[in-house]
Amino acid sequence: MKRFVLLAAVALITSVVAVPAANSAVGTDSSALRQAVTVHGILKHQQAFQNFANDSVATFGHPTRVDGSVGFTKSVDYVARQMRSYGYNVTVQNFTFDRFVETAPPAFAQIAPNAITYVEGTDFLTMEYSGSGDVTANVQPTNDIVIPPGATAGTSNSGCEASDFAGFTPGNIALIQRGTCTFREKVLNAQAAGAVGAIIFNEGQPERTAVLAGTLSPPQVDAPAIGTSFDLGADLYSLIQSGQTVSVHLAVSAAVVTTPSSNVIADTTSGRADRTVVVGGHLDSVTEGPGINDNGSGSATILETAKQMARLGVKPVNRVRFAWWGGEEFGLLGAEHYVSDLPTSELKNIALNLNFDMIASPNFVRFVYDGDGSATAAAGPNGSGNIEKVFAAYFATQGLPTEPTAFDGRSDYGPFIDRGIPAGGLFTGAEGVKTAQQAAIYGGTAGVAYDHCYHQLCDDISNLNNTAQDQMSDALADATLQFAMTTSSVNGTSKASTQATASTEYLGTSLRK
């Protein structure tokens, strides 16, 4: 999982709120389940995931549980085997996806009017699912570029319409500004106008200046495409506007590789199927490391919660579907495959989705997804606010402050909210940096990332904060039980459909617009 936490002002919860089991005034006592779900039990699963990651060393040269690795396959087999032993109805849903791979380092350089060699990572990045090509051509900006940038994100409509390429000279490289529509739409429009390459630069608002790490989404496009910082794009634009001819060399060598993956789906044997509660997290890691916080922490905690529910003999009022997704790190592919594969009638049976991705970050904050959009202006589908209230109410009973985080599309709730299904969940932070205010409330170190090992080799069994894991696992267990046992409906279930209803900024690891 890759996240950019959209933080609002820290909200301290100082009063005890009655736990609303999906609108009901009285919740279910979760104390027995919370006591049964221990850090010790969770760590056993995480150690198993670490061992499986270690088994990938012979092939990858380091531990990993990335899709297609033996570490991932053994993780899938382990979860499925454990869930069957607990008495759940288990399905392993296999699928494949086209993984984008660069087969050689990219190149980007200004030939004229200045000789400048740009640095990958510092100045530019290849867009995922870029086409391959090695071209030297003049740069031509689209219409609708806005410099200086507008006051708000999305002011620029550059490249979003065919008319933006009016007068475009075929054989040129298109210079496009981020804003409004997806990067894929921009590049496809450029290709249609005859562009042999595309440079997409950031829009320029305070949080839109860095080098773009974007995705064009599969399938692979034809033209080579890169993302740059606002400053680089603005410099090229300024040169052209001053009447100079700008020529660049752009080279991308890339392909897609068919990669196997799997989802593990495990259902309780009782409960209303027309109010199915999906409790999920992703099982894969990035290639670079074993992913024991991201997302062994969520995966292991869901597994231990399911185990203890079975051991305690919980008979849910509503069917609980525990899910471990594959392909999250490549764009929420497992969750997307799951919801896309469901008939409309079964999709409508999903009452809500609870998502748990990274819940033991070493320099943690207790983030709760902002279901009602009151703090981040990115509300989930109708009913998501009720899920947020359940988490808020639980943490209030424990005297633990929380902070909202936005539905930005960077984890597996994305395909659910896109189809109008209420969602919520927990998160303890990734590459974002802890503020002094947060350190005063949650402890830890200001000025340091929530998880300094995020997407790295050091995200191993030692990269866990047991205090965070203990607190978040209790909240996970409580919410799972509240929604499993409620006789009330979470608003919005009837809105679920096969049609996407939202367009989030991220698609898992990368920006998509």
Catalytic site residues? 328
Kindly state the DSSP code that residue 171 receives in the 8-state scheme.
T
- Residues 6 or more apart whose Cβ sits within 8 Å of residue 302: 279, 280, 281, 322, 324, 356, 476
Residue 465 burial by CB count (10 A; 0-12/13-18/19+): exposed, middle or buried?
buried
Strand (E) or helix (H) holding 368: strand 367-369
How far apart, in whole angstroms, are the C-alpha atoms of residue 154 and residue 152? Answer: 6
The size of the chain, in residues, is 513
Assign 21 to helix, strand or coil.
strand
Residue 450 and residue 439 in contact, taking contact as beta carbons nearer than 8 Å:
no
- Residues 6 or more apart whose Cβ sits within 8 Å of residue 313: none
How far, CA to CA in Å, does 486 sit from each of 271, 298, 320, 492?
A: 11, 23, 12, 16
- Residues 6 or more apart whose Cβ sits within 8 Å of residue 53: 63, 64, 65, 71, 285, 289, 290, 291, 292, 460
